[in-house]
Amino acid sequence: MRNITIGTTVKVFETEEEMGDENLGLMNEAVLALKKSYSPYSKFQVGAAALLENGEIVSGANQENGAYPMCLCAEMVVLSSISARFPGVAIKKMAITIKSANKVIDFPVSPCGACRQTLLEFEERQKDPFQILLRGEVGAVYELESARSLLPLSFDGSMI
């Protein structure tokens, strides 16, 4: 028997100044995308914005449904939009933020498991990792180097 350790390195930006213009600009687009949220049930808005290799920014927000399993996460909305509008164009980085009507969340919120798996699939397709920026409504920003870093022991198409 032996133990193995699986780690993820996360860069933490405590201030907007530390983020740099590109990261800050993309996070601001994710904040603007919160206005696109349709979340009358959870009152939990999620905004996401992706910077593509061609310089375009694609943003979106969560879309809820009275039939809960049909809800769309913001990340899925953005990824689907990229597939429709810019097929084959690689993602450089994605910023994700949230706003809850119930409380101020002052720590970075991570994508759900389904989104992590879908982000990984996009990363595998483009054969190049993309950065992910995470933020709560306020507070520090996490930067991860890849979608894979969000999903340790991941399953992907190479295993089929």
Footprint of Zn ion (CB under 5 A): 73, 112, 115
Question: Catalytic: which of 75, 121, 123, 124?
Answer: 75
126 exposure class (CB count in 10 Å sphere: 0-12, 13-18, 19+): middle
Closest approach of Zn ion to the CB of residue 112, in Å: 3
Contact between 92 and 79 under an 8 Å Cβ cutoff? The reply is no
Give CA–CA dist 130/145, Å, rounded: 6
Residue closer to Zn ion by CB (options 73, 132) is: 73
| Amino acid (1-letter code) at residue 16 | E
Cβ nearer to Zn ion, comparing 19 with 130: 130
Q: Is 75 known to be catalytic?
A: yes
For Zn ion, the nearest residue by Cβ is 73
- Identify which of residues 34 and 73 has a Cβ nearer to Zn ion in the complex: 73
Burial grade of 81 (CB within 10 A; 0-12, 13-18, 19 or more): middle
The residues assigned a catalytic role are: 75
